[in-house]
Amino acid sequence: MAENVVVVGSGPAGLTAALYTARANLEPLIVEGAAPMGQLMLTTDVENYPGFPDGILGPELMEKFRGQAERFGAKFITADATRVDLSRRPFVVEVGEATYEASALIIATGATARMLGIKGEREYLGRGVSTCATCDGFFFRGVPLVVVGGGDSAMEEASFLTRFASKVTVVHRRAALRASKIMQDRAFANEKIDFIWDTDVREVKGSDGKVTTLELSNARTGEVSTIDVGGLFVAIGHDPNTALFTGQLELNDAGYINVQHPRTATSVDGVFACGDVVDHIYRQAVTAAGMGCSAAIDAERWLEAQGH
């Protein structure tokens, strides 16, 4: 028997879709992934999720999302989907050796922030290393910060962080920015932003669980230097997790899934998408959760229209 709804992904979007489809009595099956519950599992305090005026830890918030969906009958598989076939009805979702069929499919596989892959970066993630200024900037009052990257995201994050930091230094691997002219001009005009050109960050160092120093290396001369910081923001782009769907669904140039905004319908009838795998602009837990709700309602109505 095919499942009514399979949700692939378990961040705020996937788990909200799970909650809403579960409460609609659709008994959704959630393929939650081998590393479930999304990017908030990599953060510490979340102070901008409405309803938690004192803040909440990212992993604790996600456990609450999951528990709430489970309470209404969502079923979970803790493994990655390995293949999907959207050309057949019901749709096919493979998880290793196991095969599931789905009358409707909700994709909420999210995006992954690109990381530098340097020593200390993972160790200090959520403890001084961040990939989201909107989420974490507030925690860096009065300290010097480094932003890595030369695109619009890096300029936006650097400008935003000047509200909190004593100073922001943008470290870019080349001598020219990739960011749009307007974003560049804004950053150049900001007295609290400095630039270090032609330079890679080589290592994140700290003590007592806090980032204190970055080791830098000049990309032309190889000269090594250090800079004292209170935090490092890595802003070198995101990759949507769409490898499973390439060639089966319409994606935009950057690889994000195209939906019929404000609806969540994709280019394949009966397949819906929500959260960061669609949204490269807002990328917030609360916007992802909102879109997860929309996808659940869209799927529910679609199933009903099919006479399901």
Helix (H), strand (E) at residue 23: helix 12-23
Residue tagged active-site, from 45, 54, 85, 132: 132
Q: At what angle do helices 12-23 and 58-71 cross, to 10 degrees?
A: 20
- Is 135 catalytic? The answer is yes
Interface with ligand NAP includes 178 (CB under 6 A)?
Answer: yes
Which range touches ligand NAP (CB under 6 A), out of 130-138, 143-151, 158-166, 187-195? 143-151
For residue 144, is the peptide bond before it cis, meaning its omega torsion is within 30 degrees of 0? no
Catalytic residue among 54, 80, 85, 136: 136
Q: How far apart are CA 83 and CA 243, in angstroms?
A: 10
Interface mask toward ligand NAP for 201-240; x: CB under 6 A: -----------------------------------xx---
Residues 6+ apart with CB under 8 A from 11: 37, 38, 39, 40, 62, 108, 110, 275, 276, 285, 288
Complex with ligand NAP: residue 126 or 150, whichever CB lies closer: 150
Tell me whether residue 136 is one of the annotated catalytic residues. Answer: yes
According to the binding rule CB under 6 A, does residue 150 interact with ligand NAP?
Answer: yes
Q: Is 276 in the site for ligand NAP (CB under 6 A)?
A: no
Closest contact distance (angstroms) between CB of 301 and ligand NAP is 32
Near ligand NAP in 19-78, by CB under 6 A: none
Residue 170 beta carbon to ligand NAP: minimum distance, rounded to whole angstroms: 10
- Integer CA distances (angstroms), 47 to 50, 141, 196, 280, in order: 8, 15, 31, 21
